């Protein structure tokens, strides 16, 4: 009886892809049953028709993090490795087994970033993307997708649900090359220790290792040690690919659609287009682009119309791939923003209960995003003119502080938020911006409303202005905020 396991040609890309499709919708338990029955235990042995004995290794049902390695070993017949070359070296194809998740609203998103390969600060080509170890290893990636968020599943229940041969999309390369240049420039400046996941829009870097002293590396242009990092495609980029290139083939509006043939990245195109109106006042721009100055969301509508878009900027291909958020800011003559800048309202109970940092509200909604600030500066009392466009992401050196504020907030909620009535109203024991200078939490509602004791409320708000605490009380909705003094430093380039 002919063995089907390992029956592919590693010198033929179509053969490898076709063989991969035979894995679709098969539980890993079935793969292991076939492996245990097979005469040959590796791809090499199958090719040589030479049956060898190998030590049988126990697979624990809970070892879900090893699924990718198991697929490489038991389905493709080679040992997982950290070689410089691609997994299928003869055809230049790297294999990546990566999870997706189905969200509560039924949408699909990437469960995690796609880690590509470790960066060697000394040996990596810092000038030419197409001569890098990254490109050598990952110019073609065979992606195998599985649902990684079914709680009761063991590794034996996992199954591949989609096979996709990824070859970097030409439409994204200007942005990716721009990301590469920004990241490698930091390394050239001796700032590898300052690299952050927020440096890139589509391509970036992430820490890689066990999280101990062994994860520190020397860098070529500084004596300061830097964390070991790997190249990655960001979760937001992978989510876009999953929804619009892989699982579905739906199309979305593009910022670059009117700039075909332009070799600039989307951030450069956006900045140039918006700043072509630099110096015009808000009112002049509202009039020119027929935007109601009293309408809610007038500023996002204005920027959309300046860019010639019919839909929201946040829903464009580029903004979704980069996980980017638009913020229109007013600053006074000295450059100080008129107010703190808020993030989305958070759920007190969810925030308190979720102790996974990378799945937390703060990481997902703040640290893991890129921001586009469009700045209007005061020239005379009450008159603001278009002044600046700045792209920014939370730097690595601030992530620990953001995590501390997140943990501090969770502790206060879990231990019971303290409410104190004063002449000015009710105050909580959440530390404010005088203490937490980079990120803090406060109310996110026009009117406050607090349940100071059961069914007894104070404030000018209403019940819809509140969210419940774990102890059952309802208090005014809260969100995290960037203090305006810190926001000024960001706009001044002090946190680039």
> Which tens digit of pLDDT belongs to each residue from 19-56?
999 999 999 999 999 999 999 999 999 999 998 988 88
- What token pair was written down for 52? 């060898």
Residue 149: what pLDDT? 84
pLDDT band at 104 (very low <50, low <70, confident <90, very high): confident
Q: How many Å apart are CA 265 and CA 285, to the nearest integer? A: 25
* Mean pLDDT in residue range 457-477: 96
Looking at the predicted structure, is the pLDDT value of residue 227 above 80?
Answer: yes
What percent of the chain has pLDDT above 70? 97
* Mean pLDDT in residue range 180-189: 97
Looking at the predicted structure, is the pLDDT value of residue 263 above 80?
Answer: no
Residue 260: what pLDDT? 60
252/364: higher pLDDT: 364
Residue 98: what pLDDT? 96
Tracing tokens 């892989």 back to the chain, one arrives at 246
Selection from 292, 288, 268, 272 nearest residue 280 by Cα? 288
Looking at the predicted structure, is the pLDDT value of residue 214 above 90?
Answer: no
The b-or-e profile of 457-488 (16+ CB within 10 A means b, else e) is bebebeeebbbebeeebbbbbbbbbbbbebbb
Q: How many Å apart are CA 66 and CA 221, to the nearest integer? A: 36
Residue 259: what pLDDT? 65
323/264: higher pLDDT: 323
* Mean pLDDT in residue range 231-250: 88
* Mean pLDDT in residue range 303-312: 88
Angle, helices 67-74/28-37, rounded to nearest 10 degrees: 30
Cα 123 from chain centre: 27
Q: How many Å apart are CA 282 and CA 222, to the nearest integer? A: 45
Residue 56: what pLDDT? 84
Say what the pTM is.
0.82
Angle at 490 between CA 487 and CA 493, to 5 degrees: 155
What average pLDDT does the chain have? 92
């Amino acid at each position: 009886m002919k063995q089907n396991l390992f029956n592919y040609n590693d010198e033929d890309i179509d053969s490898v892809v076709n063989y991969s499709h035979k894995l679709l919708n098969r539980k890993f338990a079935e793969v292991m049953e076939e492996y245990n029955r097979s005469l040959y235990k590796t791809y090499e042995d199958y090719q040589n028709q030479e049956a060898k004995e190998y030590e049988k290794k126990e697979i624990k049902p809970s070892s879900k993090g090893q699924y990718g390695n198991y697929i490489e070993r038991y389905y493709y017949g080679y040992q997982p490795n950290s070689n410089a070359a691609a997994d299928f070296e003869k055809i230049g194809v790297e294999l990546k087994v990566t999870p997706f998740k189905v969200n509560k609203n039924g949408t699909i998103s990437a469960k995690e970033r796609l880690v590509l390969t470790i960066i060697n600060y000394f040996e990596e080509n810092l000038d030419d993307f197409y001569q890098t170890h990254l490109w050598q290893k990952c110019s073609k990636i065979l992606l195998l997708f599985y649902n990684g968020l079914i709680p009761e599943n063991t590794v034996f229940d996992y199954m591949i649900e989609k096979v996709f041969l990824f070859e970097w999309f030409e439409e994204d390369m200007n942005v990716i090359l721009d990301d590469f240049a920004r990241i490698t420039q930091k390394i050239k400046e001796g700032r590898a220790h300052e690299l952050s996941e927020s440096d890139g829009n589509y391509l970036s870097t992430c820490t890689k290792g066990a999280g101990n002293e062994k994860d520190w590396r020397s860098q070529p242009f500084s004596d300061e040690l830097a964390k070991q990092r790997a190249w990655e495609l960001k979760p937001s980029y992978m989510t876009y690919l999953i929804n619009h290139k892989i699982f579905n083939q739906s199309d979305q509006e593009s910022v670059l659609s009117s700039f075909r043939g332009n070799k600039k990245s989307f951030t450069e195109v956006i900045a140039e287009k918006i700043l072509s109106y630099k110096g015009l006042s808000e009112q002049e721009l509202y009039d020119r682009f027929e935007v109601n100055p009293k309408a809610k969301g007038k500023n996002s509508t204005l920027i959309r119309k300046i860019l010639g878009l019919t839909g929201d900027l946040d829903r464009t291909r580029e903004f979704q791939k980069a996980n980017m958020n638009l913020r229109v800011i007013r600053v006074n003559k000295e450059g100080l923003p008129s107010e703190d800048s808020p993030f989305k309202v958070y759920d007190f109970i969810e925030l308190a209960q979720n102790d996974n940092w990378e799945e937390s509200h703060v990481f997902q909604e703040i640290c893991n995003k890129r921001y586009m600030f469009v700045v209007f500066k005061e020239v005379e009392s009450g008159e603001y003119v278009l002044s600046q466009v700045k792209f920014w992401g939370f730097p690595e050196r601030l992530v620990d502080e953001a995590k501390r504020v997140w943990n501090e907030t969770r502790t206060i909620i879990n231990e019971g938020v303290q409410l104190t009535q004063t002449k000015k109203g009710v105050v909580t024991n959440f530390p404010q911006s005088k203490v937490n200078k980079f990120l803090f939490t406060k109310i996110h509602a026009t009117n406050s409303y607090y349940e100071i004791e059961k069914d007894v409320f104070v404030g000018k708000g209403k019940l819809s202005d509140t969210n419940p605490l774990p102890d059952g009380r309802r208090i005014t909705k809260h969100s995290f905020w960037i203090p305006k003094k810190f926001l000024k430093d960001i706009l001044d380039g002090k946190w680039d």
